[in-house]
Structure 1
Amino acid sequence: MGELICGVLWGWPTLALILSAGAYFSYETCFFQVRRAGRWLKAALCCRKEARGGVSQFQALTAALAGSIGTGNIVGVAAAIMAGGPGALFWMWASSLLGMMTVFMENYLCARFKPVRGRGTGALRYIEKAGKYGGALALVYAAGCCLSSLGMGNMVQMHAFRAAWEDLGGPGWAAALLAGAALFFVARGGLGFAVKITEKLVPAMTILFMGASLFVLWVFRENLPAALSSIWESAFSLRAGAGGTAGMVLAMQAGISRGVFTNEAGLGSSAFAYEEVEGRAPAELGYMGIFQVFLDTLVMCTVTGLCILCCPAPGLSGAQLTFYPFEQAMGIWGRWAVSLCTVLFAFATSVAWCCYGRSGLFYLTRGRGRTAFALAFAGAAVAGCVLPLETLFRFGDACNGLMALPNICALFLLSKKGLSWLGQEEKG
């Protein structure tokens, strides 16, 4: 039953809808994400740290990155390569290139629609404006957001958190209790409290992971050309894979599915991180979305995948597939480094998603249930440490579908207005 629900909500039709949104906005803007690469890179690298309101642009960027840079960059990449071969990386790149414009439009529309006290926040701000069906779409999205924060944004992350914690020598029960207690207080505090954590945590964990990954690639640099070649060959292979399915189809499904899982293009989640940023033009907040997908998938997922392909591990799967090249390159220090990164990634993602889920709940309950949600989020963290990963992924994927479907529908319904606004800004 779980597989059936997951297949309906997060199967090919949903993935195709997400890709079509990215392709449509890319085409209509003449690949804005490529033409304006200098603008969004400058906007992201030079974003202001001082706040003109409740949250600074830098804090919002780190919160959005915390939500997307999670265990998908470690476990998700390994799972994609296991399911679809090296070619899955190519399709992660393709989906992320299109997804850049999807996230841009999510942030852009959120900033263009003025907040109304007592109404939706983040992505809900524009979804409820999507014509006569906006109210119904917003209700479905809010429910999906709340559930997804418990599933993919919490339990899946905490499963990896516990495994990495044990790899560092800590007892599993301590990981569950520590994560549950910490996330309870974050869920109570909301976005203002969460960004104080992410602005310190995200830069540190990104630098640590990138430094360790680049060292691995340097050690195994002789295997790099073959690894890059295998990505291209596998991406378009017609040889039969599992169940007689062409390798290209498996690579596409694995790459696109896990790519969306890690960069969250089409889910509308990053819009929640920027809702309290003031004094910035809507396009500037859209630039942050493009950079988020770029760093998360085109940079970090790529180096993870190349590490795996440059030093393949016989007979291993999941996170162990990622740990292997680091351990081979740096010994036990490499394994500890990637385990520490996994702990930090998982916690950072859960911190961001507890704020997203709380916003979804508040929309449904008119602002009530803060303590109840904090308790539920803490309980989900403990459950994620003990439940099977496959079950957690199925639940998380289904909940992501509940977010993606109404969000993409709203983006299409508002596309004419959004593209018109953007065109006017471009001319101005």
Structure 2
Amino acid sequence: MFADVMTAINNALTVVVDALYTYILVALLVGGGLYFFIRTRALPIRMFAESIRVVTEPPKDEGELSSFRALMVSTASRVGVGNIAGVATAIATGGAGAVFWMWMIATLGSATAFIESTLAQIYKKRSSRGSDSHGGPAYYILIALKKPGLAMSFAVILIVTYMGGFNLLASFNVAEAFTSYSWSHPTWTPVIVGGVLAIAMGASIFGGSRRLTAVTAVIVPIMAIIYVGVALIVICINWQNIPAMFGAIFSQAFDFQAIFGGFAGSAMMLGIKRGLYSNEAGVGSAPNAAASASVSHPVKQGLVQMMSVFIDTMIICTITAFLILSTGVAYGDDVTGAPLVQSAMSTVFAGFAHPFVSAALLVFAFTTLIGNFYYAEVNFRFLLRKHGQIPSWGYAIFRSVAVLLVFAGALMEFSTVWAIGDILMGLMVLINLPVILVLGKKAIDCASDYRRQRAAGLDPHFRAADIGITEELDFWQ
């Protein structure tokens, strides 16, 4: 009886997820990205060099959170299992052309990421320490739109989605990866993996946001460099296949007969969906990290967060795609996900490939756990903001729940939880994207103010009144 009920629930959730992610959210996110790309006059392309320059700037106030650390937190959440297994699945299902559409959506998504992260900086709040800041969609919904109910709904949904559904899933994926080894035990391996992840998670988050950002600032660059480096070795060894690889990407991307003959499973749709899920632009997650940086002008952090989309999709996802396509390994419904990446890497590294990909999945998942928790804690503060400074025991309980969820995730069966997480993230988009479409002009005006000051040879400093913002803000007065 229970099994029948769960099957019925799963089937109903699947229908909702398919409708959201095949039509509604894709149209909304692509349309929003295109709108912001046009309104900002291709800002992700025009100001790409500037984004590289500002990411190296020290924090505005000595000892505060730098742009680079805030970038690493958002990148930690974005870069995850999907950068390996997700990209491989998109190629296996939709073909090489999916890579092109993944690039396109990342370019458009960069404009959306700029808008939401700039807004988060404008409307950020001062922390109880006095100089630290925090913010995100819940804050700009409350302050700029004056919709407290909607802001609280967003905060609750984000906490349940990221600290709950997505962290449960990340832990589960790591445990599942390690159960494929011959030495693994079906009962004890998930317990051991869950325990290790939970202990590492606790060690990172119980030190507070400063320790958390310090951990991500070290792990994320190292993780990315090692993975990209090993994959580049494989790609370079297979250099003779690179022209054919690009030929396949572009020819299959514009195979319109295949696209319109089966749109839901086409290279276009799968590439768009992979890009959307991976870079999270428009979801409202990364602005929570963007608001924590100490900068002299909101646009600086908008440009920096734009870089996170580039790192995630244009570097990590692209390297995974090139790794698979340059080796010429067979792919399809029978070989997909992480095994496809392992198969491609084993053409050069043989026995090293399987443990290396497993280790990469482990580290990617761990940084995702940290980044997701950071978002959740920012919104936990928002929900309890009227109670003054949250006591230390309050944070301890919240962080303990986060650690227990990580451990539990390794032990769970996931079809229902994953579907619920997808739906909740979809609700975040349905709240955040219309909000930034309404407030987007403020970020665009902010960008114009930044360009004027740069053209005058100044290091841009922002005053809210200069672009007509009259709300009472903790910063920028």
How does the TM-score come out when normalised to structure 1? 0.90
Q: Matches of 1:273 and 1:399 in 2, distance apart?
A: 20
Q: Aligned ranges for residues 301-340 of structure 1 at < 5 Å?
A: 301-311=317-327, 312-314=329-331, 315-340=334-359
Please name the residue that 1:127 is paired with: 141
1:115-154 to structure 2, matched below 5 A, reads 115=125, 121-132=135-146, 134-151=147-164, 153-154=166-167
- Distance in 2 (CA, whole Å) between partners of 1:54 and 1:120 is 12
- Equivalent residue, structure 2, for 1:425: 450
Deviations 1:328-351 (A, max 9, x none): 211122332222211111100111
Q: Of 163, 174, 191, which residue of structure 2 is paired with 1:161?
A: 174
Task: Give 1:263's aligned amino acid.
Answer: N
- In 1, are the aligned partners of 2:43 and 2:111 still within 8 Å (CA)? yes
Q: Deviations over 1:59-116 (max 9, x none)?
A: 2121121111111110111122233222221111111000111111111111112416
| Structure 2 SS opposite 1:331 | helix
Tell me how far apart the structure 1 counterparts of residues 165 and 271 of structure 2 sit (CA, whole Å): 17
Q: Of 17, 26, 46, which aligns to 1:6?
A: 17
- Pick which of 161-170 and 17-26 moved more: 161-170
Deviation, 1:305, is 0.8
Matched, 1:409 2:420: no
Q: Does 1:356 align with 2:369?
A: no
* Correspondence for 1:180 among 198, 201, 225: 198
Deviations 1:103-155 (CA, angstroms, capped at 9, x unpaired): 111111111124166997223221223435x3233123212211221356412
CA distance in 2 between counterparts of 1:48 and 1:421 reads 21
Q: Of the candidates 103, 106, 109, which is equivalent to residue 113 of structure 2?
A: 103
1:30 aligns with 2:44: no
Q: Encode CA deviations 1:308-338: one digit per residue, 9 max, x unaligned.
A: 1223245322211111111221112233222
Match among 424, 430, 433 for residue 399 of structure 1: 424
The answer to whether the 8 A contact 1:86-1:309 is kept is yes
Task: List aligned pairs for 1:12-51, cutoff 5 A.
Answer: 12-44=23-55, 46-48=56-58
What's the secondary structure of 2:77's corresponding residue? helix
Which residue does the alignment assign to 1:210? Answer: 228
How many residue pairs match? The answer is 424
Q: Deviations over 1:389-418 (max 9, x none)?
A: 554542332121122111111101102222
Cα separation, 1, equivalents of 2:266 and 2:69: 38
1:365 Cα offset (Å): 4.2
Cα gap change, 1:279/1:361 in structure 2, threshold over 3 Å: closer, same or farther?
closer
* Alignment check: 8 A CA contact 1:235 1:247 kept: no
Asked if the contact 2:29/2:282 (under 8 Å) is kept, the reply is: yes
Displacement of 1:220 in angstroms is: 1.9
Q: What residue is the counterpart of 2:461 in the other structure?
A: none
Match of 2:399 in 1: 374
- Aligned CA RMSD, in angstroms, stands at 2.6
* 1:232-276 deviation per Cα after TM superposition (whole angstroms, max 9, x unaligned): 2222224458xx942586223222222122111112222222323
Q: Distance in 2 between matches of 1:248 and 1:316?
A: 20
State the Cα distance separating 1:11 from its structure 2 match.
Answer: 4.0
**How far, CA to CA, are the matches of 1:197 and 1:114 in structure 2?**
23
Classify the secondary structure of the residue corresponding to 1:55: coil
Do the aligned residues in 2 keep the contact of 1:187 with 1:373 (CA within 8 Å)? no
Q: 1:47 to 1:329 in 2, by over 3 A?
A: farther
Match of residue 248 from structure 2? 230
**Change in 2 beyond 3 A, CA 1:253/1:129:** farther
**CA separation of 1:337/1:47 partners in 2, compared to 1, >3 Å: closer, same or farther?**
farther
The answer to whether the Cα contact below 8 Å between 1:149 and 1:357 also exists between their aligned partners in 2 is yes
Structure 1 residues 238 and 278, CA, compared in 2 at 3 Å: closer, same or farther?
closer
- Cα contact 1:235–1:252 (8 A) shared by 2: yes
CA separation of 1:124/1:116 partners in 2, compared to 1, >3 Å: closer, same or farther?
farther
Per-residue CA deviation, residues 37-57 of structure 1 (Å, 9 max, x unaligned), is 21112223x343896354222
User: CA 1:114/1:414 → structure 2, altered by over 3 Å: closer, same or farther?
Assistant: same
- For residues 194-222 of structure 1, give each alpha carbon's deviation from its aligned partner in whole angstroms, at most 9, with x where no partner exists: 11211110111111001011011012222
Indicate if the aligned counterparts of 1:167 and 1:339 stay in contact, CA closer than 8 A: no
Query: Could you say what secondary structure the match of 1:129 adopts?
Result: helix
- Unaligned segments of structure 1, at least 5 residues: none
1:200 aligns with 2:187: no
Is the 2:174–2:365 Cα contact (8 Å) retained in structure 1? Answer: yes
Q: Which range moved further: 359-368 or 78-87?
A: 359-368
2:475 match: none
Distance 1:114-1:148 versus aligned 2 partners, 3 A rule = closer
| TM-score of the superposed pair, with normalisation by structure 2 | 0.81
Secondary structure of the equivalent of 2:291?
coil
**Gapped regions of structure 2 (runs ≥ 5):** 1-11, 454-477
